[in-house]
Structure 1
Amino acid sequence: MSHVAEWKVRLYVSEDDRTTKARVEVDTGTNRLTGHSSARCAPQDKDVPEIGDELAVGRAMENLGEQLKRTAYGDMQALGSPTQEESLKPYSGWLDIAAT
């Protein structure tokens, strides 16, 4: 069975007052998901925007990846597959954009 798909991905990055925020959106044609994250520069560290971008974007992509896996596991379960035991919790130390 052959399958080809094209998903549209958009990435947004912004920095304000030593805090970088990232949002990555994926549109699969049948589903839309958005990953969020942020990175803060510690007061004692040199402010290098590229580092904040890399951290925030990497974390947002990980967040999106976890959502994609949850969606796939839900689809699998709806088809009768057993529940996945893999932990889908984010790593400790992640900054929760929704809580700030």
Structure 2
Amino acid sequence: MSHTSEWKVRLYLFEEDQTTKARLELDTGTSKLTGHGTARCAPQDTDVPEIGDELAAARAMENLALQLKRTAYGDMQAVGAPSLQESPKPYAGWPAGD
């Protein structure tokens, strides 16, 4: 069976007081998910906005990926697939709450 679809993604970056926030919106045509990520520049670090953008965007992508996996697992169970033992968790080294 052949299948083609287009999903739309929009990334918004906001910087204020050495904190960069990212909002990543995914529109699949049938559902919408939003990922969030944050990066902070330590006062002793050189302020390089591109680094904050990269980290915040990557963390928003990780957050969105987790939500998408949870959605897929729920959809799989809804059609009778066995329950997965894997529990989606943030990647090691990623501070909780970002």
Between the aligned partners of 1:3 and 1:28, the Cα distance in structure 2 is 14
What do residues 71-96 of structure 1 show as CA deviations (whole Å, max 9, x unaligned)?
00000000111122223122354352
| Residue in 2 that maps onto 1:39 | 39
Q: Which runs of 4+ in 1 moved over 4 A?
A: none
| CA RMSD of superposed structures (Å) | 1.3
Q: What residue ranges of structure 1 are gaps of 5+ in the alignment?
A: none
Q: Say how many residue pairs are matched.
A: 97
| Residue in 2 that maps onto 1:13 | 13
Sequence identity percentage: 70
| Residue in 1 that maps onto 2:58 | 58
Whether contact under 8 Å (1:37, 1:57) holds in the other structure is yes
Task: Using structure 1 for the length normalisation, give the TM-score.
Answer: 0.90
| Residue in 2 that maps onto 1:81 | 81
Between the aligned partners of 1:47 and 1:95, the Cα distance in structure 2 is 23
Task: Using structure 2 for the length normalisation, give the TM-score.
Answer: 0.92
| Residue in 2 that maps onto 1:96 | 97
| Residue in 2 that maps onto 1:71 | 71
Q: What residue ranges of structure 2 are gaps of 5+ in the alignment?
A: none
Between the aligned partners of 1:30 and 1:87, the Cα distance in structure 2 is 25
